[in-house]
Structure 1
Amino acid sequence: MPTQGEHRRSTTVAALAAAALLAIAACTGPADPVPRASSTSAPSGSPTPSASPTPTAPAEPELPAQVESVDGAVAMMRYVFELYTYAFATNDASGFEPISADDCTFCSNVRKNVATNRSADHVVHGDAITVDKLSSRPIGDQGYFSIRATITQNPSETRDRAGALVGTSEGGRFSVQAALQWRGKSWEVLEVEATPAKTP
């Protein structure tokens, strides 16, 4: 799965957020911060592929009902996956701003990468994510929930304004670990990490 709010969290809170990830990492091993699936740029000097029709951009996902429960955490994580696809397909990552923790590396990277694409006038096509498995459980008593998921990301193309191909991504299947926190009235994304899923 190739790739800040307004309040500061204390060292104790940060440690608890890390614990939510560590609780699931203990079962799956350490994970690097979420990268985008490996991509390849069109070789310089090679013939420019003919432009393709611009696919219809996906509809902006709707924020789910904000409920502090396992089902609520699962619904929120599905929204994050949908928002990720929408952000790169439309070069609009504004939806991540109200749901991201200050120190969420994944959230920050999504916004930075989308901004880079927007500046270059590049758009990602075909980057849809299918959620194969998704579960959650509470961690401690301060609103922390851990997430475990297996997703499949479609191969994608990056094209410029004229529709010319400038890069590709092979997609793949990924194991995802994430930590969410209930902040009284809404969910906040603390971190998301992914590694290539092991072949069954």
Structure 2
Amino acid sequence: MFLTKLHLSVSPARLAAFGLVVLLFVSGCSGSDSSLGAPSSSASARNWSTAESSPTPTPAISRAATSARPSENVPLPVLPELAEQQSKEGLLAFTEYWYALATYAFETGDLSPLQEVSGPDCAICSRLYEMVELGYEDQDWIVGGNFTVGSTQSAYVLTSKDVYQVLAIVSQFHIQYRGPDNHLYEIEEGWTDTHMLEASYADGKWTAQDVVWFKAAGSEAPVLGNTG
């Protein structure tokens, strides 16, 4: 901020005349209506009307990542009310929400929402964290990596580890690791597999304590709710 000082040369005669004018002005105002110092009701109404007529901000447009730039304004997935319930339906809804947060992490590089609903010993979680952190080093970003959940099932039986198990058919879209100037570091192909998510419920919310790749023995259908 720059301040400019003005030096004025004022003669004694002019200064005396100025003081007389000020004195007359003050004397003349002493008998005036005190309401002049307060804003009128019409002025207040005009100010309120101006505030109400202010244009509504335009919502930011969400854009997926491309080879030329990272994603922009990606909305954070909202936890469904059903996913807050301690029930089989709530558990299945939470499972889909968990993968939505995993997608959000790949789209934005922000792992914190996923970490908040995941346990410290989650196997697949650790791998996802590494991939996202690598993909968003420096000014790099990830294109793709979105998850989709084809189907979910659960026997909704509490195991000896105090968790409920869910089998989910999960797919992940292929991943491009990108950098400035259209640089392509690596491509990872997409896949579809069966995951088993183990979740616990406490303090009114679900937590994914572990997520693993599930392989059924032979051609037999997987059995959930075991005590192991």
The TM-score with structure 1 as length reference comes to: 0.64
The number of aligned residues is 148
Superposition RMSD on alpha carbons, in Å? 2.7
Unaligned runs of 5+ in 1: 1-50
Mapping of 1:5-84 within 5 angstroms?
52-54=67-69, 56-57=71-72, 58-65=74-81, 66-84=84-102
Distance across 1 between alignment mates of 2:134 and 2:70: 20
**Residue 186 of structure 1 is aligned with which of 199, 205, 208?**
205
- The one-letter code of the counterpart of 1:96 is L
- Deviation, structure 1 residue 188: 0.8
**Residue 158 of structure 1 is aligned with which of 177, 180, 198?**
177
- The one-letter code of the counterpart of 2:67 is S
Mapping of 1:128-139 within 5 angstroms?
128-139=146-157
Distance across 2 between alignment mates of 1:161 and 1:196: 39
The alignment-based identity, stated in percent, is 24
Unaligned runs of 5+ in 2: 1-65, 219-228
The TM-score with structure 2 as length reference comes to: 0.57
Residue number in structure 2 paired with 1:29: none
Q: Per-residue displacement from partner, 1:6-62 (whole Å, max 9, x unpaired)? A: xxxxxxxxxxxxxxxxxxxxxxxxxxxxxxxxxxxxxxxxxxxxx933364542211
- The one-letter code of the counterpart of 1:80 is W
Residue number in structure 1 paired with 2:113: 95
- Deviation, structure 1 residue 143: 5.9
Distance across 2 between alignment mates of 1:119 and 1:156: 15
- Deviation, structure 1 residue 180: 0.6
Q: Per-residue displacement from partner, 1:40-99 (whole Å, max 9, x unpaired)? A: xxxxxxxxxxx9333645422112321101111111111111111110121110112321
- The one-letter code of the counterpart of 1:111 is Y
Distance across 2 between alignment mates of 1:123 and 1:98: 22
Distance across 2 between alignment mates of 1:151 and 1:108: 17
- Deviation, structure 1 residue 104: 1.9
Structure exhibiting the larger radius of gyration computed from Cα positions = 2
Change (3 A) 1:121 1:95: same
Change (3 A) 1:63 1:163: farther
Residue number in structure 1 paired with 2:188: 169
Structure number having the greater strand percentage? 1
Preserved contact between residue 174 and residue 196 of structure 1 (Cα < 8 Å): no
